[in-house]
Amino acid sequence: MRVINVVGARPNLIKIAPLVEEMRRAPEIETSLLHTGQHYDENLSQIFFDELGIPKPDVFLGAGSGTHAEQTARIMLAFEPVLRERQPDLVLVVGDVNSTLACTLTAVKMHIPVAHVEAGLRSFDRTMPEEVNRVVTDALAEWLFTTEPAATENLLAEGRPRDSIHFVGNVMIDTLLRHREQALQVPVLEQFNVAPREYALVTLHRPRNVDHAPKLAAIVEALGRVRKQLAVIFPVHPRTRQRLREFGLLGRATELLGTGLCEPLGYLEFLHLMARARVVLTDSGGIQEETTILGAPCLTLRPTTERPITADVGTNRIIGSAPERIVPEIERILAGDAPRGEVPELWDGKAAGRIVAVLREGVGAGI
């Protein structure tokens, strides 16, 4: 089985790393790695390849940024000749970025089966571009690998055949568990002059939060109030920094947060900060999952989540991004009322092995 593994953004690298490693151990599978270049910065992306031991991509499309339509179209146009040349038996996509959707559409129209890792996750909010990408990808993919039981139920409710759905666990957790001890040795706390459990860690990049000046300004002010009670470390996503600059808010954010407002960090540094944080505030889906495994309280600055198990079983609370909610929730945690979660089923570091086992069975069956 010739498999092309697709990545397009830095979070995809965390998910693909254990899969590439497992596939290279399987004699029945010939694997290659394709990076669409949807999000690519030489410094920020290269550190992920180095830290996670991911081989250099066999194919780099260099799609770059743009509107959703522009980006999706560029990826499709660049991916089609790669498929004609390499003739894969399977295209494997992860997550919910535009690359996931674009490569799925291109492959399926060329009658090449697609496997989707992290299938079935739903926020039920179609204003999120990621939700549209998830729904369309799952409607077209032939192999659907789920991380939690709710995802399986969503796929069944959408009419996907049960034998195409495989509950395997979470490949992001495979990577986290493999690198946790190494990450805890990285001297990142000294960089910010903080002690364990004495800071809040913040990430923010969703359009709902950063594309509207009044809302972004209100969140910045709320973080300033949080800093009066707890140190704040805020590695700023490039998109968020651009919006802060466009809206004239970068100076105010720097004034309120000081040196806690910093450039994005490598995987190991950020993992260390998550593990030792008193609380994590985020609008990222993956961070909701990682904090659950780390036992770190997480406040999700969105009204919904596509990963409900992190709130039902894990350490996550969905609070939205209203400032009048953020500060009281921080005070609640500081008073000792923090969510204490459990490890979800099959989040045991072996998800990639289960996925590759399913693919190898497919090879044996002549698929």
**pLDDT digits 0-9 by tens, 127-160:** 999 999 999 999 999 999 999 999 999 999 999 9
165 pLDDT band, cuts 50/70/90, is very high
Do 171 and 352 touch, CB atoms closer than 8 A?
yes
Q: How many CB atoms lie within 10 A of CB 324?
A: 9
- Environment class of residue 364 by beta-carbon count within 10 Å: exposed (0-12), middle (13-18) or buried (19+)? exposed
110 and 160, same structural domain? yes
pLDDT at 40 over 80: no
Residue 115 backbone phi and psi in degrees, to 5: -110, 130
* Number of domains within the chain: 2
Active site residues: 205
296 and 353, same structural domain? no
72 pLDDT band, cuts 50/70/90, is very high
How high is the pLDDT of residue 44?
60
Sign of CA dihedral 83, 86, 91, 97: negative
How high is the pLDDT of residue 42?
61
- Environment class of residue 263 by beta-carbon count within 10 Å: exposed (0-12), middle (13-18) or buried (19+)? exposed
- d(CA 159, CA 58) in angstroms, rounded, equals 36
Looking at residues 210-231, what average pLDDT do you find? Answer: 97
pLDDT at 367 over 60: no
Q: Is residue 35 within a helix (H) or strand (E), and if so which, with residue range?
A: strand 30-35
Residues contacting 252, CB < 8 A, separation 6+:
217, 220
Residue 308 covered by a domain: yes
39 pLDDT band, cuts 50/70/90, is confident
Residue 175 covered by a domain: no
329 and 187, same structural domain? yes
46 pLDDT band, cuts 50/70/90, is confident
pLDDT at 364 over 90: no
How high is the pLDDT of residue 178?
97
How high is the pLDDT of residue 362?
80
Q: What is the mean pLDDT of the chain?
A: 95
How high is the pLDDT of residue 275?
98
257 and 286, same structural domain? yes
Residue 342 covered by a domain: no
What are the Cα distances from residue 284, in Å, to 13, 47, 59, 281, 298? 15, 20, 28, 9, 11
165 and 269, same structural domain? no
250 and 128, same structural domain? no
Q: State the CATH number of the domain containing residue 153.
A: 3.40.50.2000
pLDDT at 43 over 70: no
